[in-house]
Amino acid sequence: MHRLHAYPDIQAMFRRLLIATIVGILAALAVALFRHAMYLLEWLFLSDDSKSLVYAAGSLPWWRRLLTPALGGLAAGLLLWGWQRYTRQRPHAPTDYMEALETGDGQFDYGSSLVKSLASLLVVVSGSAIGREGAMILLAALAASFFAKRFTPKDEWKLWIACGAAAGMASAYHAPLAGSLFIAEILFGTLMLASLGPVVVAAVIALLITNLLSGGPALLYVVHVDAPHSAGTYGLMLVTGLLAGLCGPVFIWLMGFTHSLFLRLKLSPPWQLALGGFIVGLLSLLTPAVWGNGYSVVQSYLLAPPLFGAVAGVFLCKLLAVLSSSGSGAPGGVFTPTLFVGMAIGMLFARFWGLWLPDGNEMAVLMGLTGMATLLAATTHAPIMSTLMICEMTGQYALLPGLLISCVVASVLSRTLRQDSIYRQHVAEQG
């Protein structure tokens, strides 16, 4: 259990809320910078301005679809390898916001963190099945840390990094409450109100600035589904939660196992990332849907859920692509890929029992959303954050009761089977 600060007086509280507002603005600008850099590079390298890597992959000739992720991985690996050699004699400092919050006094290695973000940009735009949001949140935390080191006392640095990470998540996912609870549930376990207040303010300000820059508020995923209205439907959501609670530890184990397989090859970082990208390229010859973090595929499936065979085929290829990208060490997040895996598990469950379920397509969408929330809860051990994340991203707040109890079930079962969450494992590997 971590407590950042005791409850301050009114003047100190207003000062923190003002700084939180500034941090929120800086975080939103950092996320916007990464997003526009990504779109620019996609236009330059892929000759595509659709902002969808799946669409870009589908329009490329087969040989470019095969080689582009490998070349992007090679370029990112060379960048990381060259920087490591250049800084070999320098003292170690965190290059990840989770590591900065878990250890030390909240300082970053700014140069290494920026290089890591640039490497993530290269693998993202070249189609690797890794999340772009991880680098966005890192840049937001870096911006907050840079400001905090110059204008705040040292004992507050971790607070402002936490605010920056929450604001980055809110800006990337349009989910300020979930972004705040991401910090509260995953990184600290609990927060005093004095610390949670600035975190929430930073997250909300970041979302407002993001909406201003993008021309207005918008949901991340457009979904048309009715709220559950029967005990049977709630029962199916609970069963989906149980299924996710079993699959979550397996997914975490698969990521760790795949990473160990890549390490056994004893390749240098450039070739290791290139191999991961090449595997993604091979899988993209079967379906271009394996490119990217899975966002566009999730959106299309939530609007028009395919039949069991189509979902199963893409799910298998995408899972292998995600494992190859993360296992090779490609810098980036696994948050959005986890949402895709969870959605596929939920839809497969619904389609498998389709003969006995009424309103097949709507039930597939509902179970898909439940799978997204519950697998996220099973891998992060943060059920409240996971529930609010899906509600905020889709606007489907009527699903909150069913999702919440399903996420709690998934989280408890997953924690029983495996103590470490995907983020605790990440911090352990970074240490």
Identify the residue with better confidence: 423 or 203: 203
Distance CA 15, CA 197 (A): 12
Q: What is the pLDDT of residues 48-94, one digit of tens each?
A: 888 889 989 999 999 999 999 999 999 999 999 999 888 875 656 66
Which helix (DSSP H) or strand (DSSP E) does residue 275 occupy? Answer: helix 269-284
Query: Coil, strand or helix: which one is 286?
Result: coil
Q: What is the pLDDT of residues 104-116, one digit of tens each?
A: 666 788 888 899 9
Distance CA 380, CA 359 (A): 31
The reported pLDDT for the residue numbered 186 is 62
Mean pLDDT along residues 239-244: 96
Q: What is the pLDDT of residues 178-209, one digit of tens each?
A: 888 877 766 555 445 456 778 888 999 999 99
Residue 128 has pLDDT above 50, yes or no: yes
Q: What is the pLDDT of residues 378-420, one digit of tens each?
A: 999 989 999 999 999 999 999 999 999 999 999 999 999 998 8
At residue 261 the predicted structure's pLDDT band, cuts being 50, 70 and 90, is: very high
Question: Fold identical between 10-214 and 231-430?
Answer: yes
Predicted TM-score of the model (pTM): 0.86
For 173-230, the DSSP string reads HT-HHHHHHIIIIIIIS---HHHHHHHHHHHHHHHHHHHHHHTS---SS----PPP-S
The domain limits of the chain are 10-214, 231-430
* Amino acid identity, position 42: E
Tokens of residue 415, six digits: 């924690």
Distance CA 190, CA 181 (A): 9
Q: What is the pLDDT of residues 356-369, one digit of tens each?
A: 666 778 899 999 99
The reported pLDDT for the residue numbered 357 is 66
Q: Burial level of 233, CB count in 10 A (0-12/13-18/19+)? A: buried
At residue 271 the predicted structure's pLDDT band, cuts being 50, 70 and 90, is: very high
Distance CA 364, CA 104 (A): 46
At residue 218 the predicted structure's pLDDT band, cuts being 50, 70 and 90, is: confident
Across the chain, what does the average pLDDT equal?
87
At residue 171 the predicted structure's pLDDT band, cuts being 50, 70 and 90, is: very high
Q: What is the pLDDT of residues 134-145, one digit of tens each?
A: 899 999 999 999
Architecture of domain 231-430: Orthogonal Bundle (1.10)
Distance CA 95, CA 157 (A): 15
List, in sequence order, every residue forming a beta bridge with 131; answer none if it has no partner.
Answer: 333
Residues of the chain with pLDDT > 90, as a percent, come to 60
Q: How many angstroms separate the Cα of 309 from the Cα of each of 179, 220, 281, 364?
A: 35, 27, 22, 14
At residue 428 the predicted structure's pLDDT band, cuts being 50, 70 and 90, is: very low
Residue 6 has pLDDT above 90, yes or no: no
Identify the residue with better confidence: 229 or 188: 229
Tokens of residue 110, six digits: 């700014």
Per-residue DSSP letter, 295: H
Residue 225 has pLDDT above 90, yes or no: no
The reported pLDDT for the residue numbered 361 is 87
Report H helices in 87-174: 97-102, 110-125, 133-151, 157-173
Distance CA 386, CA 315 (A): 21
The reported pLDDT for the residue numbered 243 is 97
Distance CA 98, CA 101 (A): 5
One-letter-per-residue 3-state SS of 226-253 = CCCCCHHHHHHHHHHHHHHHHHHHHHHH
Q: What is the pLDDT of residues 327-383, one digit of tens each?
A: 999 988 888 899 999 999 999 999 988 766 667 788 999 999 999 999 999 999 989
Is the distance from CB of 38 to CB of 121 less than 8 angstroms?
yes
Tokens of residue 336, six digits: 């959005």
The reported pLDDT for the residue numbered 427 is 43
Distance CA 431, CA 428 (A): 5
Q: Token pair 């995923």 is at which residue? A: 221
Q: Which superfamily, per CATH, for 10-214?
A: Clc chloride channel (1.10.3080.10)
